[in-house]
A and B are shown apart, each in its own frame.
Chain A
Amino acid sequence: MSGKYLLKRIILLFPGLFMVVFLAFLLKNLVPGDPVETIMLNRGMSWQDAALRTSEYSKIYISEGLNKPLFYFSVLPDHYPPNIRSITDPEQNKEISFLLKNGYPYPNILEFLNLKNNMEKNGSATNASYPADSLAHLILQKEPLPEKALSAILAEKWTGNSRPTSCIQILENMISNRKSWFLPSFHFYGTNNQFHDYFKGLLKLDFGLSSKDGKKVTDKIFSALKWTSTLVFFSMMILALVSIPLGLWSGRYENGKLDIWTGNLSIILYAIPVFWLASMLIIFCTTDQYGWWLHIFPSVGTWYDVPGSSFLQNLAKHASQLILPVLCMVANDFAFLIRLIKKQTIEQKHQLYVKMAIAKGLDEKSILTRHILPNVGIQILSVFTGSIPAAFAGSLIVEVIFNIPGMGRLLYHSINSSDWNVVFGILIVLAFLTIMINIIGDLMYVRLNPKISYHD
């Protein structure tokens, strides 16, 4: 029973993961900005010489695999070339894309660009300077120019040999071949494409290189994941240790003093955004500025790992600085969890087995802990496991504020420096964690609760 259910869940996992990877890949290619430019900027490369720069650009372009097509197949309008990404020169690529978008067929564009280049080269030498820019301007206009006007302009400005006729011929061809109606055509590329490489890398846990410093993204993510999971672990522990006794107690003594106090406090805590709580605590409770008695927590310091020391040693060194972040992370969740446990406790209190336990003469403490708690626990387990992914997400703000080198801070800094391999790597890792935790939660629920069975 359980095995079949497990198998079904695992099989259903793959389309979900594939979709996440696909989404991440799509977003990675949609972000504005030139990835090669970002790499050059982040690595501090700059050239005075334009030719050298172009050659270096195309080197990085090819080494990053950007010259390959995006996906296994593509649907393009029929006047497009099969793979426009194989043009490494960014200026030329931009120009061609623009002309293609305006409906000019690819062969004509190549002719036109060739003509333009020749003109630019010969312009100064033959003194027959037809400004290439204004020629391009003519072409880029949306309405086809009247033939007469075009030839008049060309005849006027161009002096010398027989070029004008061929020039006019090329321009006229281009204008008359302009498409006003795009029809789709299919192109198949096989496995030599960017998505295939990306996916293959993911299977080997390789997310590529960070464009910021050239380090492996995988190493970066996993060293950050350690800190984030530490935070999440401690916050979950505190959440369980505080909310279960409080919830049980306020359920047992409904409308008692403790119940009312925790109820009110948790509603207020629920409305406080994490970032405000964190800023207030940092401003008031980490300095002597507002009185020595308010200096309760250590100030938010810089984090550095001593080379050669293990993760646990680092953790021990920074442990005091983790107190505030963990407090801030759990503050919001108390309200919901305490309320849920209280509700469940009240529900369980009136069940027959409790009356039976009372009739047996058990004392109150053992009824609460040995009879009611397991039943409440099963009910809140799914909520608890559901809040773990939320805690991973919620750690972002806390990490940014408290400067903890975790995944959230990594994501934040990577977005600011356009390091997309890291950003979307984190997105995929988080989605994987979320899905896995949900599956584990469901399985535990099935395992612990004999009443529930998933037959199919």
Chain B
Amino acid sequence: MIEREVHSRNKLIKIIVLLFIFGVILVPFLANDKAILCFCPDGISMPVFQKSSVDRRQADQKCSFCVFPPIRYTAYQIDLENSGYTGPFDAQKIPSIYHRHWLGTDKIGRDVAAGLLYGARNSLLTGFLSMILGLLLGVPTGMILGYFQDNTTRWNVLQIFSFLIFVFFIIFYAVYLPWGEWNSLLLFITLTVIYIVSFRFLAKLKLKKYYIPVDLLGYRLLEWRKSIPALFLLLALLSLISKPSVLSVIIIIGLLAWADIARMIRAETLSIKTRPYVLSGIAMGMNHQQILKKYILPGLSDTILVIAVYMFAGAILTESTLSFLGLGLPADEVSWGKMLSESRQARAWWMAVFPGLCLVSLLYYLNRFTNQKFYS
């Protein structure tokens, strides 16, 4: 049983790494207008790595032998000869069979097959980075909510007071100081250091201590966030940004995933906290930090993995939905969702079928892994 789980986990990690190698590194070698390798009179060259777009036809004539990628177009390249939705089975004006658009072209003559590959890169990158961002924010939050609950943290009045003042000043300066200047950064660091030092000092004072309902406050916030449907909130947040970029889409998807991740991690932490080995750690007199690091986090690793895959699939789906609605990635980026939305306007079946199949198969495999874990 355990062996099988480890096996499936390794397999999963392997698949994600493979997807990444394929998506991020290999794409330019699979679809490109430049040759991969050229044996020329003046030596062997690799035009893929050259930035300048030399006229390839001339280069072909000079060189004795060239190795080309299977798809001879990039996703950004416009083939004017075959613009206006040329289908895969239509007659195409191409110099040779190697230049054929195997999966057709779009309105302005970009190759669909190349678009699929470059779109895969964008989807994987957005999904992966927003998942990482969500995990980095959500896992600590969930752990803190689940571990400290309402009956662990005790602060005295001065501590509470200093915390509130610290939060107040951080927000105040974050709003009013001009960003991107070294002295404002310095101010934030000084404030934090002063706060930590004074907080440590205040903790030693012998005053009456009160329980801090960490979980109550935090969980309420997560519940409030849940009362607004994610897609609607996402659209509203995206409209805050005047110029959408890949990075802004990643950040917003990651921020929204944060609350969901925190909720799941919190539930899991609650169950792990009652296990005997955690209790033994408490009995041994370890402090909270050690227990969280040595007992809770390793216990959460399986859940985190499942959540990561789940969020990865979710982020890819969200990104393509947004692009489909025309609100996601900027106009000059390729994306599966964008191709799908174009297909609807033009009734070009090849632009609906192929990106859709890619998306469905990717989501299907990712879902299968999480399903196996959830229902086993």
Contact = CB atoms under 8 A, between A and B. Distances in A.
Contacts of B368: 267
Contacts of A393: 229-232
A267 B363 CA distance: 11
B356 to A, nearest CB: 4
B360 interface: yes
Given A77-B176, A390-B229, A412-B325, A423 B352 contact: no
B240 interface: yes
A182 interface: yes
Interface string A256-283: 0000000000011011110110011011
A27 to B, nearest CB: 6
Interface stretch (B91-99, B136-144, B341-349): B341-349
Contacts of B230: 393
Nearest to B181: A142
B229 A389 contact: yes
Nearest to B243: A32
Interface in A193-235: none
A298 interface: no
The 9 closest A-B pairs by CB, nearest first: A393-B229, A271-B364, A276-B356, A32-B242, A271-B363, A431-B227, A19-B224, A279-B344, A431-B228
Contact of B325 (A23, A283, A400): A400
Interface string A377-397: 000000000000110111011
B367 interface: yes
Interface stretch (B155-163, B291-299, B316-324): B316-324
**Chain B interface size, under 10 / 10 to 19 / 20 to 34 / 35 or more:** 35 or more
A426 interface: yes
A399 to B, nearest CB: 11
A412 B236 contact: no
A287 interface: yes
B164 interface: no
Contact of B227 (A20, A282, A290): A20
Interface of B: 168-169, 172-173, 176-178, 220, 223-224, 226-233, 235-237, 239-242, 317, 320-321, 324-325, 327, 337, 340-341, 343-344, 347, 349, 352-353, 356, 359-361, 363-364, 367-368, 371, 375
Contact of A273 (B177, B239, B359): B359
Contact of A415 (B176, B235, B343): B235
Contacts of A401: 344
B233 A427 contact: yes
A7 B342 CA distance: 51
Contact of A20 (B172, B224, B235): B224
A16 interface: yes
A170 interface: no
A114 interface: no
Contacts of B324: 275, 397
A424 interface: yes
A279 B173 CA distance: 48
Contacts, number: 130
Nearest to B363: A271
Contacts of A434: 226-229
Interface string A394-433: 1011001100000000011001001000011011001100
Contacts of B371: 267
Contacts of A275: 320-321, 324, 337, 340-341
Looking at A15, A287, A396, the one whose CB has the most chain B CB atoms below 10 A away is A396
Contacts of B232: 393, 396, 411, 426-427, 430
9 contacts: A16-B223, A19-B224, A23-B228, A32-B240, A101-B178, A182-B177, A271-B361, A271-B367, A415-B236
Contacts of B352: 276, 279-280, 283
Contact of B172 (A19, A27, A75): A75
Contact of B360 (A32, A273, A287, A396): A273
B173 A16 contact: no
Given A15-B220, A101-B176, A430-B228, 8 more contacts: A75-B172, A182-B177, A273-B317, A273-B321, A284-B349, A397-B321, A397-B325, A424-B236
A449 interface: no
A20 B352 CA distance: 38
A107 interface: no
Given A267-B364, A400-B325, A276 B347 contact: no
Contacts of B233: 427
A130 B231 CA distance: 54
A145 interface: no
A231 to B, nearest CB: 15
Contacts of A426: 232
Nearest to A420: B239
A435 interface: yes
A392 B321 CA distance: 16
A272 B231 contact: no
A187 B224 CA distance: 29
A77 B353 CA distance: 57
A435 B343 CA distance: 37
Contacts of B176: 76-77, 101, 182
Contacts of B353: 280
A222 B223 CA distance: 26
Contacts of B321: 273, 275, 397
A238 to B, nearest CB: 21
Contacts of A415: 235-236, 239, 327
Nearest to A397: B321
Contacts of A374: none
Contacts of A423: 236, 239
Contact of A287 (B169, B240, B344, B347): B347
Given A182-B176, A393-B231, A271 B360 contact: yes
Looking at B168, B325, B337, the one whose CB has the most chain A CB atoms below 10 A away is B325
B368 to A, nearest CB: 7
B329 to A, nearest CB: 15
A438 B347 CA distance: 40
A411 B229 CA distance: 13
A273 B347 contact: no
A31 interface: yes
B320 to A, nearest CB: 7
Given A75-B172, A77-B176, A435-B227, A279 B240 contact: no
A282 B344 contact: yes
Interface string A1-33: 000000000000001100110010001001111
A289 interface: yes
Looking at A276, A411, A415, the one whose CB has the most chain B CB atoms below 10 A away is A276
A377 B240 CA distance: 43
Contacts of B341: 275, 279
A102 interface: yes
A184 interface: yes
A290 B223 CA distance: 48
Looking at A267, A415, A426, the one whose CB has the most chain B CB atoms below 10 A away is A415
